[in-house]
Amino acid sequence: MGNNVVVTGAQWGDEGKGKIVDLLTERADVVVRFQGGHNAGHTLVIDGQRTVLHLIPSGILREGVRCLIGNGVVLSVDALFREIETLESSGVSLDGRLGVSPACPVILPYHVALDQAREAKRGKKAIGTTGRGIGPAYEDKVSRRGVRVADLLDGNALGAKIEEILDFHNFALKHYFDAPCLDVAAVAADAAAFGDRLRPLVCDVADELYRVSRAGGTILFEGAQGMLLDIDHGTYPFVTSSNTTAGAAACGSGVGPELLGHVLGITKAYTTRVGGGPFPTELFDDVGKLLATRGNEFGATTGRPRRCGWFDAVAMRRSARVNGLSSLSITKLDVMDELEEIRVCTAYECNGERLDVSPPGAEAMERCTPIYETLPGWKGESVRVSAFDRLPANARRYLDRLAELVDVEISMVSVGADRADTLVLRDPFNGD
C-alpha cells in the first residue's frame, strides 16, 4: 500500500496536478487516470517546453512509464487521438505505453450537442461546463444506455444501439431544446471507426493494476478537477459530473481501496475557480488582478479566465477530511511574491453562526461571509528557490500557518512552472 500515491485536487481544480504527477512519475511504474474527461487540462513545463494534456495521464512524458485510462473516465476518442498525434509529433513515443479500459463510457456527438444546448437554455443560470459532452455521457452511463469502449469493438450490435439512443436524444434536441437532430448513420459510422482506431489500445486496466501491485510495482492514481467540484461533496449544482475525491480512485480504476496508499492533495497558495458558483474569498480588486496576471490564470482546456481569491482554509478543511489527505502540495507560491500582506480565510460567518468547515452545497456556501486573518507578505523572490530554508522567512511562516489551519502537513512546494521548480519536503512514495 505504501508504494502507491493518489494525486487529487483539493480546491476547485486547476491546482497544478499535472506538474506534480509528472514529477512523481519518476518513482512510478504505472500512472492511471480515474475520472473526468477531456474537460480537464493538465499543463506541464519541462525544460521550458509547455505541454497540455487532457486525457492521457501526465506521466506520459517519462520514458518507460505505462499510462492507463481507467473505467471512471468518459472518453472522447477524437480528443484522445488528437492528443496522441500532438505528443508523437513532438517526439514522445507512446509505443506500448498507453492503455484504455473497455469499460470507459464514450462521448459521442449527441452528448456534445446536448451539453451545449442545455447551457444555452439555462442562460444566466448556466453551470459553466466546458460544453464537451462530459455530463450527458455520465448521465447515459448511469441510465445504463451508454456506449462503452467495448461496444465500439462490436460492429454487429453497435449500429442498433446507437439508433436506439439517438431516437431518445434527438427527441429532446428537437422538441425541448429546439436544436438540430443528429444523423444516426453518420454517428454510427464514426463510432465504428473509433473502435477500429482504439482496438490496439484496449486492455483490462483493473487486472493490469492488480498484477503490477502483486509484483511490487508502484502505481500513481491521477485525478482531474478538484474536491469542491465533486458531484456529491462539491458546491452542487455548480460541480462536475464525476466523483473527484481520492476515494473515486478505487472504483474509477478497478482496485481495492487498500491499494490507494498516500493521498496527496494539490492546492494553490491562493484559490481560483472557473465557471459559476459560490466563491467566498473571491477578490475583485487589484490584488485579484495581480494573482490572475502573475499566475497566468486561464483554463488549460477552455482558455477562460479563472476567478481568483485568498486561500480558503475553511473549504480546505472539508477537502482534507473527505479526501483523507495524507499531505499537501502547495503550488504557485511564487505568484504571491509581490504582496505586502496576505489574508487567509480561517472561518465563515453564516446567519450569525461561526463555521470552521464549509457547508455542503452551493446555496449554503452562498450565504457565508469569510473571516480573515492577515499575515505579512515577503516581498521577495521565492521563484525557483532550490531549498525550503532558502525561501523568504515570511513565506515559510505562511506555509506553516496553512498546514496548521488545515491540519495536514505540507510535503511539496511548487515555486515555478517548470518540473524542476519543486521543493520536496517529504517523499509521498515513502508511505504514511
Task: Give one DSSP letter per residue of 58-119, joined into a string.
Answer: GGGGSTT-EEEE-TTB-B-HHHHHHHHHHHHHTT---TTTEEE-TT-BB--HHHHHHHHHHH
Nearest one of 180, 188, 333 to 268, comparing CA atoms? 333
H helices present in 132-247, as ranges:
134-142, 149-152, 155-175, 184-198, 205-214
Q: How far, in Å, CA of 255 to CA of 170, rounded?
A: 37
> Do residues 6 and 430 touch, judged by C-beta distance below 8 A?
no
Residue environment code for 397-427, b if the CB has 16+ CB neighbours within 10 A, otherwise e: ebbebbbebbebebbbbbbbbbbebbbeeee
All three cell numbers of 190, joined, read: 464514426
Q: How far, in Å, CA of 85 to CA of 197, rounded?
A: 13
Residue 42 bears catalytic tag: yes
All three cell numbers of 64, joined, read: 518507460
Angstrom CA distances, 224 to 3, 26, 256, 374, stand at: 21, 20, 20, 31
**φ and ψ of 285, to 5 deg:** -110, -165
Site of grid cell 506521466? 59
Amino acid present at 79 = A
All three cell numbers of 169, joined, read: 436524444
Q: How far, in Å, CA of 228 to CA of 161, rounded?
A: 35
> Do residues 413 and 399 touch, judged by C-beta distance below 8 A?
yes
> Which residues, 6+ apart, have CB-to-CB distance to 141 below 8 Å?
74, 105
Radius of gyration, alpha carbons of the chain: 22
Q: How far, in Å, CA of 331 to CA of 320, rounded?
A: 16
Decide: residue 167, CB within 10 A, 0-12 exposed, 13-18 middle, 19+ buried.
exposed
Q: Which of 29, 38, 42, 54 is catalytic?
A: 42
Residues acting as catalytic residues: 14, 42
